[in-house]
Amino acid sequence: MAYLKRKQVDKILNYIILIAIGIVMVYPFLWLIGSSFKTSYEIFADLSVIPKNPTLNGYKNGWRAAGASTFLTFFKNTYVYVVLKVLATAFSAVVVGYGFSRFDFPYKKSMFSVLIATLLFPMTVVLVPSYIMFSKIGWVDSYTPLILPSLFAADTYFVFLMVQFFRSLPRDMDEAAIIDGCGPVRRLIYILVPLLKPAIVTVMLFQFIWTGNDFLGPMIYLSSEHLFPVSIGLKISMDTSSGMISWENTMAMSVLAILPPLILYMFAQRNFVEGISTTGLKG
């Protein structure tokens, strides 16, 4: 009896600790939402989540931004850029992962080792050479240097992830498809890709979030305001030329910037979780 009571007390304590940790983790997000309905003075005068005098001025004024463009332009640029990069990444990761996992060719192990070694390189190491190369080609101030490398498997983490998923699929299906007369392309499209749906969703979701949050890449390669994504637009909204920052505008636009990835994750979380946890075929 004493053992059962002690077990119940331990369980209650665990729940209390988890709830406390959850509140600490969620509080900044809730504070951000609440602050978007406050004035700049109230944001720093009161740390509560619920605003005392709710106002929509942050959304109305923030949408116009501080430059010549509105956040409509920034959001449009962001998701055109993000969607193209996500599609390029998914395509290259699947094709290159398929090649490394299903075919034998000279220097395969050496090439894969070099590919994995690039994961250890800090991005700052290649920034200057990449900028000089794209500048000489004439691609600076466009989205080409931000998107094109992904089409050629420059995002090596996703290639590695896809290789691991391909390796988890038994080769019996490939052999059966070969007997039926399927070539390499048809095997990939009709046999393997449907089984890789969780992995592809995982790659696309990660790239969607990382690209949408990218600040350094657009800051380096883009100089025209009409091309800026939301990450640069938020920086513009923090106009310090007047000596004052309208924090409610920045908070409101930050909330709008967070919503699309959050909604996307809610719809894709089942495949995302399965893609992270799957190590082989089930059933």
What per-residue confidence (pLDDT) applies to 282?
Answer: 42
- Tokens 């052999």, located at residue: 175
What per-residue confidence (pLDDT) applies to 47?
Answer: 79
C-alpha distance from residue 4 to each of 12, 13, 15, 272 (Å): 12, 14, 17, 38
Are the C-beta atoms of residues 55 and 38 closer than 8 Å to each other? yes
Under the banding of pLDDT at 50, 70 and 90, the label for residue 274 is: low
20-45: pLDDT as tens digits: 998 888 888 888 898 889 888 888 88
What per-residue confidence (pLDDT) applies to 89?
Answer: 95
pTM recorded for the entire structure: 0.83
80-87 average pLDDT score: 94
3-state secondary structure 36-58: CCCCHHHHHHCCCCCCCCCCCHH
Q: Work out the mean pLDDT of the chain and round it to a whole number.
A: 84
211-266: pLDDT as tens digits: 988 898 999 999 888 899 998 888 887 765 555 678 888 888 989 998 888 888 88
In one letter, which amino acid is 171? Answer: R
Q: What radius of gyration, in Å, describes the C-alpha atoms of the chain?
A: 24
Domain ranges of the chain: 2-59, 68-277
In eight-state DSSP terms, residue 241 is: T
Are the C-beta atoms of residues 177 and 186 closer than 8 Å to each other? yes
Give the closest residue to 90 by CA, choosing from 269, 282, 279, 275. 275
In one letter, which amino acid is 264? Answer: L
148-171: pLDDT as tens digits: 999 998 888 899 889 988 888 888
Query: In percent, how much of the chain has pLDDT > 70?
Result: 91
Q: The domain 68-277 belongs to what CATH superfamily? A: MetI-like (1.10.3720.10)
What per-residue confidence (pLDDT) applies to 50?
Answer: 85
Under the banding of pLDDT at 50, 70 and 90, the label for residue 100 is: very high
What per-residue confidence (pLDDT) applies to 283?
Answer: 37
Q: Is the pLDDT of residue 84 over 90?
A: yes
